[in-house]
């Protein structure tokens, strides 16, 4: 990702995923966050996903990501990384 040079991105596979834990994590210097990818803003959410996204967001940054909010999420990440 040219926008975030030096970003480490980790995608959790279904085989090693705990129920409800977001499926993607990123690390950028001292900052980190989690993303739970959805096909759309109305896609169903699994049990506990809302809980874990809110918990991780209270610690650093976490969001539900879908095609309709991709630019907004990237802008938020850019702001987070600039701190």
CATH number at residue 39: 3.40.1350
With a cut of 90, say whether residue 81 has pLDDT above it: no
Backbone angles phi, psi at 77, to 5 degrees: -65, -40
Closest CA to 33 of 67, 57, 50: 57
Say how far apart CA 83 and CA 69 lie, in whole Å.
Answer: 22
Total domains present in the chain: 1
Q: Is the overall model pTM greater than 0.75, yes or no?
A: yes
DSSP label of 67: G
Q: Which domain holds residue 20?
A: 2-81
First to last CA, the chain: 19
Model pLDDT for residues 35-75, shown as the tens digit of each residue: 999 999 999 998 889 999 999 999 999 999 999 999 999 99
With a cut of 90, say whether residue 10 has pLDDT above it: no
């Amino acid at each position: 990702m040219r926008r975030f040079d030096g970003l480490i991105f980790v995608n959790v596979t279904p085989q090693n995923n705990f129920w409800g834990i977001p499926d993607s994590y990123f690390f950028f210097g001292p900052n980190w966050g989690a993303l739970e990818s959805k096909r759309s803003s109305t896609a169903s959410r699994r049990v506990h996903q809302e809980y874990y996204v809110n918990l991780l967001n209270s610690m650093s940054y976490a969001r539900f990501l879908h095609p309709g909010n991709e630019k907004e999420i990237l802008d938020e990440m850019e702001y987070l990384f600039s701190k």
